Amino acid sequence: MELVLFGILSVVAIVSGVGVITLRQPVHCALSFLLTLGSLAGLYLLLNAPFVAVIQIIIYAGAIMVLFVFVMMLLHAQRGEGQTNYLRLQGPAGLILSAVFLGLLASLTVAATSAGSTAQPAATKICSGTDLGNIPQMGNCLFHQFMFPFEVASVLLLAAMIGAVVLTKKSE
């Protein structure tokens, strides 16, 4: 049953992820992104990581999606949906870069499977002496050892929100 659920959720994640970059309407892209985040939360549940799955839904599918929709509403209210001007070589360059990426991915996959190693890598501890299955210990690790990266991420999100407001503010 887990294998069937994994297959369904992974196909949904891949198809909706492709929809994020191929759909033309921003609202459709946001809905596809929401579906991607939901299927990733299901995959986290299959990996026996319920805390990460709940955080995925609360933080990303909740807060970040609201921020995206807010920014889209602000930006499109001022500019409107105009005609998109594409560069002349944008399509061929995208195809070439996609082919290079898929070639690298295929070569890495072949190299990993030809190694024949069936041994699982040892689990590494992020914080020494911390069981990351224990939520209070994980929070203690996050807000003590990783306080600086956490604050940098919050400042970047704040700067993005301020930038969106500045861009949409009408000049007087």
Give Cα separations from 4 to 37, 46, 57, 122, 156 (angstroms).
19, 11, 22, 27, 39
**pTM of the predicted model over 0.85:** no
Query: pLDDT tens digits, residue range 67-99?
Result: 777 777 776 655 555 555 666 777 788 889 889
* CB half-sphere exposure, 47, CA atoms < 13 A: 14
CATH architecture type of domain 1-60: Up-down Bundle (1.20)
Both tokens of 28, joined, read: 């459709």
Residue ranges for the chain with pLDDT beneath 70:
75-87, 115-133, 170-172
- The domain limits of the chain are 1-60
